Amino acid sequence: CCPNLYPNINKLLKILSTLPVSTSTPERSFSTLKRVKTYLRNSMAEDRLNGLSMLAIHKDVIVTPDEVLDEMAKKPRKLEILFLALGKWRPHRPVPLIGCCNSPTLVLGDRSGLALQESNILPRDRVTESRLENCKSALRFGTWNIRTLYQPGAALTLVKEFNKYRLEILAIQEIRWSGQGSTEIDNSIIFFGQCDNCRQGGTGFIVKKNIAPAIKDFKVVNSRLTILIVEGKFFNVVFVNAHAPSEDKSDEEKEEFYSLLESKLEGIPRHCIIILLGDFSAKIGKEECFKTTTVSNSLHQLSNNNGFRLIELATGMGLKIKSTSFPHNKIHKGTWRSPGGRYINQIDHVLVSARFSNSILDVRTFRGAECGSDHFLVFGKLKVKLKKIKKRKEEQAELFDIQKLCDLKTCEDFFGKRRFMRNPWFNQICENALQRRKQAREVWLKDIQNEEKFSRYKSRLKEATKIIRCEKRKFIKDIVRKIFLRNENDNLLTDRDDIVEEWAQYFDPLLNCREPSNPFLFKDKEPNREDYPEPTIEEVAKQIKTLKNHKAHGEDGITGEILKTGAENLVKYIHRLINLIWQKEEIPKEWKTALVYPIHKKGDKQTCNNYRGIALLNVTYKILSYCILDRIKPWAEEIIGGYQAGFRQNRSTIDQIFILRQHMIQYIDYRASLIKILEDFGMPSKLISLVECSISHTDIKVKVGQTLSKTVQVTTGLRQGDAISPVLFNIVLEKVVREADLDKEGVKLGENNIGILAYADDIVLMAESKDKLKEQSKKLINAAKRVGLEINAEKTEYMAVQRHEQIGCRNEVLEVENYKFKRVQQFKYL
């Protein structure tokens, strides 16, 4: 049976028997065996072997008893070389032999010598079997000291290599970015920690976007340590990214680092899978006493100082060094090359909890990955199942929803749907430069001792860096960042639903302020019954033409360009709808909803307080709002005093700056504006009714990307983005100024007293002395509270303008009510 097998086995034994015993070292035998393995596989490619085969010759070889006995009788000493090549030779007691394929066969293994085994049960190749079984479900991770991302094009190059090797999580060291946070590039997310003051260090992770929902938290310890917690199906996986001090650093610095690292590892629950990885500058040797922790497949024979420290940490914390556990070629073990390529060391490592040691399926180095670093990419496979995140179908606003105006299909067919494309600055010129650099590196790695090839590679490296920098200077757009948020408990939010709900909770108290405890008392007045006619069709057409182009749309998806290019029938429908609203004094429910987009102002991008909301209203409602505004403006101009220059025709900030002279002044900025006192000023009742129906019972929805939050009701205040809101605020502020009686005080300029200047909610109080300024501030604060307005104490300061400054007055504080305003030498007004 199986006649084609025996000649091949004989060829194997003959090749091995030709080796002299004196020179048959395990390394040489292993090298020869690899060549034999390739030859036999090619020879037996067409054989269909049932129950008798050759599997992974470097581990197990199966032959029939007759073949083994014949060969042992001829050259028993030479056959021992076979076992030396395959593993440790340990003689085994003789066993009965029956020469038939259906009979027991002899298994020549690396540990048991000769053993009896049933032929119908194939031997297990443990390494191959586990890898092949889990190759599809294994998590592909790695670690890489990239040296820097603080160069043009470095981040994009790194992400391309990340995608090329199909990685899912990559720990990176020496990022050199200031601050901490996250940024999205293509289909990957970079979580980064801060560097030191000299822009050295900085660690972080690159995560594939499809597993981002499984991330529970990202913690930055310092510039050398970051932690990423990934939620698994059964156990959480904790990746600890470490960048240890190099060998030439002081012992005190090393002790401080490893003490901090040990304390962080102790704080991780024992049931979690701990994976410690990074650049440790540690050579792990093959010392016999450390084999339980390091195994014996390291590149080095002896450990250095950092190596002993890492082994000590692993032993004390119950970790196992897996980067030295797999039998790879030397070129797949080295992780760092010295300048010039003379030495290659294995100093980047992967450690795992000893309890989950078998979860690591493989760790090796990929020399082909290139990002301008002198470190190689260390790649690993982790057998783990991540928690499945159920994705609900996102509710996206229809781009065109104009059922009240025209047919949806006609609008879409006519205009089409606009697609916004981001033009990256990393163009084909940068791609070609990187390709040339990579080709020069590959040529040099094949002959690493060649100085000429190394010089050519360094030249290509400098050329690529210069080209990328020039291209970035030409293109001023930066990388678009997608920011995650932290809630009040400082927990990282990565799920979109959680993020939008956090935004909704943030805007709810901001837009719904407290009612004033001591409001103004108004006298009963006869309502102004002045009649205001309905807008004409010509006025509606005029308001449509005044709509601004290239503005974002509201929840209905209709933009100003759609209405501008509509036919006459569209104008008639809008006119008919506005007239109906004018008569019934009730607007559609859809017009009361505003979309709020968070826009970053300054500071940490993961904190809600550093954002301001931009509200987008339905564009059709703006036509009604402009019609109301045109009727309010003439009446409001007669009421509002001359101190106010905001949102008024023929007035600007230059008018206010021109009036400022050398006097005691104070700057005030209001936080919210929400009150109605229009009846006291005698506004026509028709306009009051239209204003009330426009600003009452409104709500908002926060939109982040394509995800909408739940509806948040707004019960107080004016509507942001509404054309009538600025004029209404000026009227409210006029009431405050009149009650505070500030027009009669201030500084003497010619025949007039100037006590207050304003541009919308930015106000300047002016007085001849500090005491008078304090008195004016007190009046204004008390009057503002009565209409529900608050002073933003953080942005309120005062300044004394005088010829000679008194010593010791620079740090004076002006105390008014419960506020303390600091003194400044200069202030940016408007």
Alpha helix stretches (DSSP H) within 558-618: 560-564, 568-584
> In whole angstroms, how far apart are CA 406 and each of 412, 562, 567?
11, 11, 10
Alpha carbon distance 228, 204 (integer Å): 9
Residue ranges, the chain, pLDDT below 70: 1-137, 389-425, 474-483, 513-528, 640-676, 743-753, 760-761, 801-811, 827-830
Residue 686 near residue 531, CB atoms below 8 Å: yes
Q: Summarize the chain as % helix, strand, coil (round to 5).
A: 35, 20, 45
Alpha carbon distance 705, 703 (integer Å): 6
Rounded to the nearest angstrom, the gap between the alpha carbon of residue 192 and the centroid of all alpha carbons in its chain is: 8
Residue 315 near residue 293, CB atoms below 8 Å: yes
Q: At which residue do the structure tokens 């697609």 appear?
A: 419
Count other Cβ atoms within 10 Å, centred on residue 509. Answer: 9
Region of residue 595 (phi > 0: left; psi between -120 and 50: alpha; otherwise: beta): beta
Residue 454's H or E segment, with its range, is helix 451-474
Question: Where are the extended beta strands (E) located within 593-641?
Answer: 593-600, 611-616
Work out whether the CA dihedral 281, 283, 284, 288 comes out positive or negative. negative
Structure tokens at 36: 């034999």
Give the bridge partners for 756, in sequence order. Answer: 765
What's the pLDDT score for residue 60?
40
> In whole angstroms, how far apart are CA 606 and each of 487, 491, 502?
9, 10, 11
Residue 477's H or E segment, with its range, is none
Count other Cβ atoms within 10 Å, centred on residue 777. Answer: 24
Alpha carbon distance 31, 333 (integer Å): 17
Strands of the 215-222 sheet, one edge to the other: 215-222, 225-230, 237-243, 273-279, 348-353, 319-321
Alpha carbon distance 517, 522 (integer Å): 15
Parallel/antiparallel/unpaired status of strands 797-799 and 485-486: unpaired
Residue 559 near residue 551, CB atoms below 8 Å: yes
